[in-house]
A and B are shown apart, each in its own frame.
Chain A
């Protein structure tokens, strides 16, 4: 049903790729039930899932730090923050994967949520440090507004969907080889 590798193998292969890649994969994953595995195997599989999520969070963190350091305006910081949610949404999607048992899903969700909230609070603490180190108050206030206006943990809200975000860079959506045809709204 899941190829030659079985459920464990399918999940393990998926996790190997997934934890290195920032882009989410569309792949049907088999449902996991603890009773289908020996205790050791189940423990190994759960550890692999936790490791994959941990690895992916580290990748996300590096990418986020880079995009934040590249941003040279408040608008750029806002873009970095909102774009960073796409990566977080992909991690949350795995933690919430319907093929995982409920109790494991809860644990994973808790871990990811904690990490996301921690990232948001680190941003705030960073601003406090900026202020203490003598950065102009107006600069710190503007950044605080940006951080609070575009919080990373918005991704944890019930209705938040990755589909609300642009799937890729805006420029890649435009077909530059054709002149756009406009459809008027005339009844």
Chain B
């Protein structure tokens, strides 16, 4: 990572060394132009003439901003540069976003020739570009990359923007809020950050309200809006119902702690933001729903990484797509990254092409090294096909096992879906009976049964027109996966009991390795 100050110092050194070609690579032209201007106007560099060419302003003297040529084309600027390099020493010409310099083109060759002329008289050509430069041209000089603003730089942007706007609207942010906002804005450009902050301020100003703490988290969702077409990631828009998950008490308690860490300023602590959670277990018990619920609860944007769309048919295509998707996730952070049925994407470790192994390696490396606030919620049904290295500590923060809901969880789930589909609550007696007859049901089975009852109520003109026995019959007629495929369910549960933390309530009377129903807490290092 090269921050602004680092890039400025490096650029100044290359100017002092009279490097014939200096490539300043960045997607933030305006920031790079400011950097160049800062160096050019530094008293120690006043002896060096500097001109800058942009498409809209043409060629201008950097210090006086006076136009040098009437036309704005780059060819005139290049001719001017050639004249300067021929007639005076230590001239500097900055070209902003020059076209056609990535490959061996007329423009690239012309610039390479111009660089030789510049070198004759200790001149420098500076190229500000977001693209790679033709190798022969690049090799005549040196390159610097100006990365997007770091959290500290972003803090300055936040501070300056809010200070300016404090005349318009009251800002009720503490320094820690501003720090958190800066962390959330990492991954966008300076201009984009200013746009997002301005949007927050204007919304409050129109409503005649102060900018408060809740606006910090709003920034994360606003930030999501600027990444319209995301490579390899699918934006999942949440509905109100996604907030509701029954059961999974252990998981929810654990997530509360992680949420706190996710929002805290971790500078100077050597801690890194939470990496994420792997949810394994019985199908239909709320693993996928949990990803949505976390995003809704944490008010963070939710993205889905679909390994099926990552895999390409050409050599290197899959790896390239995954890299792009993970880089995008880093940029849009803070966010929730949902990887559904992760075993289907990462199970190919034994394929002959080696793509599977490379994908796994790439994913694990990112999981280990990325420090962005991307919280992964990965789900898996068939955990045995997952590579063992994915399951070791240091990858996910925790592996939770989502079992079939127990009585308490079933009661909660029945109440939840009863309210959603039948617009009411069952009486305690009926509820107890439903809990009893839903033994072995997954959350999805309960939802399906209550949805069918809701349809019947709708067609009959209300729940009071539905015979009470119909409700119990519907539950009795539902055949859950635990009955149609008990061996598969038992296999999954056996794995989960041994290797994962229960996502539901912990039953302290159950010992590790014990067979049968219930969930156990296995003490894992660092839990």
Give the interface of A toward B (CB within 8 A): 72-76, 78-79, 81-83, 146, 149-151, 154, 157, 159-160, 163-167, 170-171, 173-175, 180, 182-187
Contact with A along B116-150 (1 / 0, CB 8 A): 11011110000000000000000000000000000
| List of B residues within 8 angstroms of A164 by Cβ | 68-69, 76, 79-80, 83
| List of B residues within 8 angstroms of A183 by Cβ | 18, 89-90, 122
| List of A residues within 8 angstroms of B16 by Cβ | 184-186
Contact B73 A149 (CB under 8 A): yes
Question: Given the interface contacts A150-B76, A164-B83, A165-B79, does A182 sit within 8 Å of B106 by beta carbon?
Answer: no
| List of A residues within 8 angstroms of B44 by Cβ | 187
Contact A185 B69 (CB under 8 A): no
Contact B73 A146 (CB under 8 A): yes
Contact A154 B117 (CB under 8 A): no
Residues B33-75 near A (CB distance < 8 A): 44-45, 47-48, 55, 68-75
| List of B residues within 8 angstroms of A170 by Cβ | 82, 110, 113-114, 116-117
* Interface pairs (24), CB distance under 8 Å: A75-B106, A79-B78, A79-B110, A81-B75, A82-B78, A82-B79, A149-B73, A149-B75, A154-B69, A154-B70, A159-B70, A164-B69, A164-B83, A165-B79, A166-B82, A170-B114, A170-B116, A173-B117, A173-B120, A180-B121, A184-B17, A184-B122, A185-B15, A185-B122
Instruction: Write the nearest CB–CB distance from A89 to chain B, whole angstroms.
Output: 12
Q: How far is the CA of A100 from the CA of B141 in the complex (A)?
A: 50
Instruction: Write the nearest CB–CB distance from B11 to chain A, whole angstroms.
Output: 13
| List of B residues within 8 angstroms of A175 by Cβ | 120
Q: How far is the CA of A166 from the CA of B93 in the complex (A)?
A: 14
Give the interface of B toward A (CB within 8 A): 15-18, 44-45, 47-48, 55, 68-76, 78-80, 82-83, 85-86, 89-90, 99-100, 105-107, 110, 113-114, 116-117, 119-122
| List of B residues within 8 angstroms of A174 by Cβ | 116-117, 120
Instruction: Write the nearest CB–CB distance from B499 to chain A, whole angstroms.
Output: 58
Contact B80 A165 (CB under 8 A): yes
Number of inter-chain CB pairs below 8 Å: 109
Contact B71 A75 (CB under 8 A): no
8 additional A-B pairs beyond A164-B68, A166-B86, A167-B86, beta carbons within 8 Å, are A73-B107, A75-B99, A154-B69, A157-B70, A164-B80, A170-B82, A183-B89, A183-B90
The residue in chain B whose Cβ has the minimal distance to the Cβ of A179 is B119
| List of B residues within 8 angstroms of A185 by Cβ | 15-16, 18, 45, 47-48, 90, 122
| List of A residues within 8 angstroms of B72 by Cβ | 149
Contact A149 B74 (CB under 8 A): yes
| List of B residues within 8 angstroms of A151 by Cβ | 71
Instruction: Write the nearest CB–CB distance from B120 to chain A, whole angstroms.
Output: 5
Instruction: Write the nearest CB–CB distance from B20 to chain A, whole angstroms.
Output: 9
Contact A182 B122 (CB under 8 A): yes
Question: Of B99, B105, B120, which is within 8 A of A180 by CB?
Answer: B120
| List of B residues within 8 angstroms of A163 by Cβ | 83
Instruction: Write the nearest CB–CB distance from B10 to chain A, whole angstroms.
Output: 15
| List of B residues within 8 angstroms of A173 by Cβ | 82, 85-86, 117, 120
Contact A75 B75 (CB under 8 A): yes
| List of B residues within 8 angstroms of A146 by Cβ | 73
Contact A160 B70 (CB under 8 A): yes
Contact B68 A75 (CB under 8 A): no
Q: How far is the CA of A81 from the CA of B72 in the complex (A)?
A: 13
| List of B residues within 8 angstroms of A186 by Cβ | 16
Q: How far is the CA of A92 from the CA of B44 in the complex (A)?
A: 41
| List of B residues within 8 angstroms of A73 by Cβ | 100, 105-107
Contact B17 A154 (CB under 8 A): no
Q: Which of A72, A81, A150 has the most CB of B within 10 A?
A: A150
| List of A residues within 8 angstroms of B75 by Cβ | 75, 78-79, 81-82, 149-150
Q: How far is the CA of A75 from the CA of B106 in the complex (A)?
A: 6
| List of B residues within 8 angstroms of A157 by Cβ | 70
Q: How far is the CA of A75 from the CA of B73 in the complex (A)?
A: 10
Contact A167 B83 (CB under 8 A): yes
Q: How far is the CA of A146 from the CA of B117 in the complex (A)?
A: 25
| List of A residues within 8 angstroms of B71 by Cβ | 149-151, 154
| List of B residues within 8 angstroms of A74 by Cβ | 100
